[in-house]
Structure 1
Amino acid sequence: MAANSNATVVGHYSPRWLVVKRQGFLYLAPSAMLFSPDGPTRLLDGTVLPFDSDTKRISYQGVVEVPGTTKDQLYVRAYEWLAKTYRSANAVIQMQDKEAGRLVGKGVMKVTLRGFNAGYVQHTITIYLKDGRYKYILTDFAHEAGGAKDVYSAGPLERPDGEVMAFGDKKTWDKVRRDATADAELLIKDLQAAMTVKAGKDPSDF
């Protein structure tokens, strides 16, 4: 079943697996990845994380003007930024369409708790390019154990009960979500710096 799909829980297969029904078909789905968001995600201090009412997911998005640039120039900058930021374009980029001006990638942010590896938070980043501007969408945040010792996957960051699935207390789950969204904000700033860099000599011109 595709990520972010809507389905109805119709039974339990095991403590960690549920039977869900979607469009007449039955699927097995891990209980850690299922949730029913009822509104924006709120941290313990009352901070409300950016929320897309259509997708019901935490979502950072915006349109940035870059006067004097073409769609192709911005596409190259975005592609290079993805490759440098995530170390490998081949590993992160899920879809690329230069003609349409669209890049889609999946990345991860490491989670460290009390000095120990506690898995990672994955996310999806989509960048749309047009002459003189680009749009970014950063969403689909979800915690995965990733083989970390004594750590379970908590699933989407929107889960109000993520601490039950993986960490055992609300403060730890709150820290995971706060750190992940802080990293997201840094990514957005870094992307803007790369996309709005002043034109200089083309390094390929030698």
Structure 2
Amino acid sequence: MATAPPKTYRVGPERAPLYRNVADTLKSPSTHLPANEEATVVGQFSPRWLVVKRQGFLYLAPSARLRASDAPFTSAALLDGTALPFDETTHQITYQGVVDVPGLTKDQLYVRAHEWLAKAYRSANDVIQMQDKEAGRLVGKGTTRVMVRGYDAGYVRHTLTIYLKDGRYKYVLTDLSHDAPGLKNFVSGGPLERPNGEVMVMGGKKQWDEVRRDADRDARRLVSELQTAMSVKAGKDPSDF
């Protein structure tokens, strides 16, 4: 399967599954490449699969999960020219902002953020990856469903980090990546930073654009709901009775 000189790629925000052969791609992966680590690519089996050399063995890895180190992501935009918020440092689509909430302490804001996460995602235990009240930091990993022309197109994963201080907080929603496990008409698109047409989702760039547009709406909705929950005028503590 090795058909080209070794080239360094980097795994995206999600770990990449590795398979020993084509038949194994229908089963559970043999192992994984850790997220954000480098990988040695020695060939391309098909547009969907790259040949990766790891510890002396050759594996198939989904091309949607890896990116050539000499081809960094560029700023992202939808087909109509609408720019998606892009962080020039991380090269990722990122929704972020600092919001002032006068009169509320860090601990009060922490409680509000924690309660909002539990309600927004139905279960804080499934979402929250890190919670540090003393440091004023919450990290959650969630998913939102995406639809294309009325069809289920899988879901988009994201990471939401909330930093809290007295009278203000900062939110950072990033690591957006599309996955479509088990769907007949869609394939996993991977990180949403991928340019239009580079990832085939149900036939082409228009469908990929719809996936990104739907994910953008969901991200903005989540940020808006967070801001509403955090800015509600403080009243009597319901536990005080």
- TM-score for the superposition, normalised by structure 1: 0.88
For the pair 1:19 / 2:52, whether they are aligned, the reply is yes
Offset at residue 168 of structure 1 (A): 1.8
Conserved? CA contact 1:9–1:20, under 8 Å: yes
Alignment of 1:108-147 (within 5 A): 108-147=143-182
Q: Give 1 or 2: higher helix fraction.
A: 1
Offset at residue 175 of structure 1 (A): 1.1
Aligned equivalents of 2:223 and 2:107: distance in 1?
A: 20
Aligned equivalents of 1:111 and 1:34: distance in 2?
A: 22
Task: Specify every segment of 5 or more residues in structure 1 that has no aligned partner in the other structure, as ranges.
Answer: none
Aligned equivalents of 1:67 and 1:140: distance in 2?
A: 30
Aligned equivalents of 1:162 and 1:88: distance in 2?
A: 36
Offset at residue 3 of structure 1 (A): 2.6
Q: What is the alpha-carbon root mean square deviation over aligned residues?
A: 2.1
My pick for the range that moved more, 130-139 or 35-44, is: 35-44
Aligned equivalents of 1:180 and 1:166: distance in 2?
A: 14
- TM-score for the superposition, normalised by structure 2: 0.76
Percent identity, aligned pairs only, is 66
Q: Residue 33 of structure 1: which of 65, 74, 77 is its match?
A: 65
What's the secondary structure of 1:105's corresponding residue?
strand
Q: Deviations over 1:113-171 (max 9, x none)?
A: 23221100111100000011000000011100133333210100011156643332211
Task: Specify every segment of 5 or more residues in structure 2 that has no aligned partner in the other structure, as ranges.
Answer: 1-32
Aligned equivalents of 1:120 and 1:162: distance in 2?
A: 19
Conserved? CA contact 1:81–1:191, under 8 Å: yes
Aligned equivalents of 2:53 and 2:76: distance in 1?
A: 24
What's the secondary structure of 2:35's corresponding residue?
coil
Equivalent residue number for residue 192 of structure 1:
227
Amino acid in structure 2 at the alignment position of 1:174: D
Aligned equivalents of 2:129 and 2:60: distance in 1?
A: 25
Conserved? CA contact 2:145–2:155, under 8 Å: yes
What's the secondary structure of 1:110's corresponding residue?
strand
Equivalent residue number for residue 82 of structure 2:
47
Offset at residue 112 of structure 1 (A): 1.6
Paired residues, what number?
A: 201
